[in-house]
Amino acid sequence: MGIENFVGDVFLVRLPLNPYRGDELEALNEMASQGCERDVIIDLSAVRILTSESICSLMILDKYLSTAGRQLVFCGASPEIMHVFERTGLASVFEFADNEYAALQHLQRCSSSYS
């Protein structure tokens, strides 16, 4: 688990089983609060528990990134995790892709439509 450079100006973050117990979201929010110059893909494939605290951290991250003109895309969410996003009304707020490469393609399509 952790934060890594993926391609170009994109961070790939693989969250652990319970993301609130890891340091990834805290580190991401710290970087983003200082003006992140990268888009972020968050791989949720290992996540089995999404607490209200972790959802709040993800919403804060999305706000920081959008303020900086950057994007956040989630990938690899299990049906159970997608259900959490749907029940909270956040499935229509966030962007989702099947895997990290589909998320990267989404980011590339969006950035080329802004050019």
- For the chain (115 residues), the mean pLDDT of every run of 10, in chain order, is 71 84 78 87 93 90 93 96 95 95 91 59
- In this prediction, residue 115 carries a pLDDT of 46
CA Rg value for the chain: 13
Paired sense of beta strands 2-5 and 10-14, if any = antiparallel
Q: Model-level pTM?
A: 0.89
Measure CA of the first residue to CA of the last residue in the chain; give whole Å. Answer: 33
- In this prediction, residue 95 carries a pLDDT of 96
Instruction: Say how far apart CA 39 and CA 78 lie, in whole Å.
Output: 22
- In this prediction, residue 25 carries a pLDDT of 83
Instruction: Say how far apart CA 96 and CA 73 lie, in whole Å.
Output: 6
Whose tokens are 């110059």? That residue is 37
- In this prediction, residue 109 carries a pLDDT of 87
Q: Are 11 and 3 in contact (CB under 8 A)?
A: yes
- Domains of the chain plus CATH, in order, are 2-114 (3.30.750.24)
